Structure 1
Amino acid sequence: MISITSTELNYLVFRYLHESGFTHSAFAFGYEAGIDRCKNDDNVVPPGALVTFIQKGIQYLELEANLSGSDADMDEDFSFLQPLDLITKEPNELHNIVKAKKENLSQHKSESNKIVNGSTHDNARREHVQEREKERKEKENEQRLEKIRLEKEKEQPKDEYKETQHTDQNHTEKHEDKTTVENLNNRAYGGPEPMEISQSPMSSPNDTPCRDVKILKGHSSEVFACAWNPSAPLLASGSGDSTARIWKIADGPCDSGVQNEPVNVVVLQHFKESTNEKSKDVTTLDWNGDGTLLATGSYDGQARIWSRDGELNSTLNKHKGPIFSLKWNKKGDYLLSGSVDKTAIVWNIKTGEWKQLFEFHTGPTLDVDWRNNVTFATCSTDKMIHVCKIGENRPVKTFSGHQDEVNAIKWDPTGSLLASCSDDHTAKIWSLKQDNFLHDLKEHVKGIYTIRWSPTGPGTNNPNQQLVLASASFDSTIKLWDVELGSVLYSLSGHRDPVYSVAFSPNGEYLASGSMDRFVHIWSVKEGKIVKTYTGKGGIFEVNWSKDGDKVAACFSNNIVCVLDFRM
């Protein structure tokens, strides 16, 4: 009796089908499943099975011909099938299985939020905002009714309280409406957006008064990013409404006569009005060093370069997925972008063309940051960090050590240390002089969303102040770290929900933070205490200081941007 091993059978069938034009690796799973089913008691495959497998191979050539046209599509089609299906079912049955599962997947995608290649941070933020807003409204209504009930119980007999409860509740609500902050009318977009000064126990005695707050209204969706121009009184904001905006903010305090005039704003459309496309969320933006150009990154995978007057200078189109981060180098001749398509690209601004494509990650690129004019770092959902250099075909350094997605990376002011933070609850500090991390910062109990270095220490404009790293986490805390010792200086616990953004003032003395709890806090770095606080009506995605350190911008999930005066 002739016998053949599974390995020999596999090889023969592969050779036959490959020479017949069948190339898809998905069928290998079917071979293994079928071979296992056909083995006899001696762990060998009877010769008749070879004929059966070759017949199956011819049938699958027919199935391949009836599926999608491209190789990539066919690989996807075969991924819908189970190994046992490949052995036991006829091609027409398999075709129907693929068709049904593709239709179901397409329907699921249309009903879901945008989720790209497994990277769900922005969707998680939106879902969290919606949940928190619902909870907040319910809780505020409960607290308001309870407050009214307790006050009335103290002031009048119980029988009178029952009769007057509804009337007094309406009166209280009208009184609260009068205490809301009504700000400036925007000439182009109509009425003011009220913002309340927090009266909750979380508030500091130093709440920002209403006259110190300017509300910028015009976006029609969440505002994800904001950045002050480094040389002019301009604030850029980017939103899920497929626009960025450049706001002209007059110098001086918000309650001055100049500030009571409507705000000039330029709208940067990221879609053609004729097509009415609305799926090009502006996810990130950055001004160049001299403030003459604004770069925006979008969900459509394109980076765009604008003048500060709002003129579109160029569109940079090579990425195949949403752009989540982009940065100018200090010289301003190159722009670096990182995308969900797993790549980073350096763009030559003079030519408007890409200079070099870096394809080292195996997952979406979440953040990029320049070390100097030619060297930069990238991080990814693949848990890796690569340090790359223009002109080099491989990373000049690779850091591994995180156990989960690396959300952000930042070089210190002198470019000697690199900080990273991850969903593994840790931040780490790296040096190009060694392969392993210098410090493993482990005090957070949930993932760390972002990090920032203070503009202090040797080689900065504030050389006599200590270099500090701030980390903001989903555990609702901010940690200030001594980077020489790798220990916590302060744990800042003023927020109740995830903290998405922190920013140091230009002099390094203060830290601004924004959270999903709707609070903007400004902390003293020296004392680790809140010195100012403000609350709005939506979660906060980003905070940013003006170049002079006298204003803080914050962008909110309820479509607005706020500018807060800061004077101590």
Structure 2
Amino acid sequence: MRLKISLLKEPKHQELVSCVGWTNAEELYSCSDDHQIVRWNLLTSETSQIVKLSDDIYPIDLHWFPKSLGTRKQTQAESFVLTSSDGKFHLISKLGRVEKSVEAHCGAVLAGRWNYEGTALVTVGEDGQVKIWSKTGMLRSTLAQQGIPVYSVAWDPDSEKVLYTAGKQLIIKPLQPNAKVLQWKAHDGIILKVDWNSVNDLILSAGEDCKYKVWDSYGRLLYNSQPHEHPITSVAWAPDGELFAVGSFHTLRLCDKTGVS
């Protein structure tokens, strides 16, 4: 398996692209500091602007609502959550309609993730809070309050626990009150990104120490990469848990689940 890379002569966005999300294997949405949301079709190479957001919305993270719940058939997701630097998250339809905007955090909302059932949304922010919301955007609980920004968050495969970053630490906190919290030092620099795969139950983490790591759900280290030249800013599992991608400055790396590039 190799990465297939192509470059456009004319960029479709005028500013930094901050987040992307797949709807299916052939279609991708991208958001940018130019306030545009653009749809890309990889089969036809066509692009179209879905919506021009208001000038005060600077996107940070995008996550599609879970698709085809309860069926194996691959269908398209119909809506997504978009987090932004103004402390809000926005529920947006596939056609670009902003269904709802919610004041969520003091400072930027750094990440938002639907659980696997689509019954809850977790957001984290610069204010150090981890919040759980209903699918319609009503606040259910503030799960945690850190003194430092929380950069990334992920659900466990059963949607009963939340994994989030806290400086150099990773924390797994169950939704049930008084349940045991798992916390460990995972990196020698601030952790910037995490992902938790629902098939293999393995956790990815990446940080400013220029390393990416693979963990089991008990916090045991399974793979520790060599230091890269630059901080690792992004990691993401393929849905089937066989591969994952690692992003850094001018670098994109494809690895198998054991961590080997």
- Aligned-partner residue type, residue 63 of structure 2: D
1:470, CA displacement in angstroms?
4.0
**Which residue of the partner structure matches residue 238 of structure 1?**
31
Find out whether 1:416 has 2:198 as its counterpart: no
Please, which of 237, 241, 254 is the counterpart of residue 453 of structure 1? 237
Listed as ranges, the matches of 1:186-197 within 5 Å are none
Contact 2:199 2:239 in 1 (8 A): no
Which sections of structure 2, spanning at least 5 residues, go unmatched?
A: 68-76
1:285-341 CA deviation, whole Å, 9 max, x = no partner?
111122111211010010010122222222221311101211111211211211111
Please, which of 391, 403, 410 is the counterpart of residue 176 of structure 2? 391
What is the alpha-carbon distance in structure 2 between the residues aligned to residue 456 and residue 288 of structure 1? 18
1:394/1:359 CA distance change after superposition, 3 Å: farther
Specify which structure has the higher proportion of helix: 1
**Which residue of the partner structure matches residue 44 of structure 2?**
253
Specify which structure has the higher proportion of strand: 2
What is the alpha-carbon distance in structure 2 between the residues aligned to residue 388 and residue 332 of structure 1? 19
TM normalised by structure 1 equals 0.39
Find out whether 1:337 has 2:98 as its counterpart: no
Find out whether 1:281 has 2:58 as its counterpart: yes
1:253/1:247 CA distance change after superposition, 3 Å: closer
Contact 2:110 2:124 in 1 (8 A): yes
Please, which of 128, 141, 148 is the counterpart of residue 363 of structure 1? 148
Find out whether 1:306 has 2:92 as its counterpart: yes
What is the alpha-carbon distance in structure 2 between the residues aligned to residue 222 and residue 477 of structure 1? 17
Give 1 or 2 for the bigger CA radius of gyration: 1
Contact 1:303 1:316 in 2 (8 A): yes
1:35-80 CA deviation, whole Å, 9 max, x = no partner?
xxxxxxxxxxxxxxxxxxxxxxxxxxxxxxxxxxxxxxxxxxxxxx
What is the alpha-carbon distance in structure 1 between the residues aligned to residue 251 and residue 50 of structure 2? 35
Find out whether 1:226 has 2:11 as its counterpart: no
- Aligned-partner residue type, residue 44 of structure 2: P
**Which residue of the partner structure matches residue 480 of structure 1?**
255
- Aligned-partner residue type, residue 401 of structure 1: A
Q: Secondary structure at the match of 2:255?
A: strand
1:22-42 CA deviation, whole Å, 9 max, x = no partner?
xxxxxxxxxxxxxxxxxxxxx
1:430/1:298 CA distance change after superposition, 3 Å: same
Contact 2:36 2:49 in 1 (8 A): no
Please, which of 362, 371, 374 is the counterpart of residue 160 of structure 2? 374
Q: Secondary structure at the match of 2:221?
A: coil
Contact 2:38 2:49 in 1 (8 A): yes
1:482, CA displacement in angstroms?
5.9
Contact 1:300 1:321 in 2 (8 A): yes
1:414-468 CA deviation, whole Å, 9 max, x = no partner?
25221211112322222233x54333333534422222334446xxxxxxxxx34
Higher relative contact order (CA 8 A, sep 6+): 1
What is the aligned-residue RMSD (CA, Å)?
Answer: 3.1
Contact 2:154 2:162 in 1 (8 A): yes
**Which residue of the partner structure matches residue 406 of structure 1?**
191
Contact 1:338 1:366 in 2 (8 A): yes
TM normalised by structure 2 equals 0.79
Listed as ranges, the matches of 1:540-551 within 5 Å are none
**Which residue of the partner structure matches residue 349 of structure 1?**
135
Contact 2:105 2:127 in 1 (8 A): yes
Which sections of structure 1, spanning at least 5 residues, go unmatched?
A: 1-205, 272-277, 458-466, 491-568
Q: Secondary structure at the match of 2:148?
A: coil
The worse-fitting range, judged by mean Cα deviation, of 280-289 and 354-363 is 354-363
1:478, CA displacement in angstroms?
3.4
Pairs aligned (count) = 248
1:362, CA displacement in angstroms?
2.7
1:215-247 CA deviation, whole Å, 9 max, x = no partner?
674x5432222223239x754221213x34253
- Aligned-partner residue type, residue 338 of structure 1: V
1:366, CA displacement in angstroms?
0.7
Q: Secondary structure at the match of 1:289?
A: coil
Listed as ranges, the matches of 1:311-322 within 5 Å are 311-322=97-108
Q: Secondary structure at the match of 2:152?
A: strand
1:373-401 CA deviation, whole Å, 9 max, x = no partner?
23221113x21111122233566311213
Listed as ranges, the matches of 1:93-108 within 5 Å are none
Contact 1:300 1:322 in 2 (8 A): yes
1:403/1:358 CA distance change after superposition, 3 Å: same
What is the alpha-carbon distance in structure 2 between the residues aligned to residue 252 and residue 230 of structure 1? 12
Contact 2:51 2:97 in 1 (8 A): no
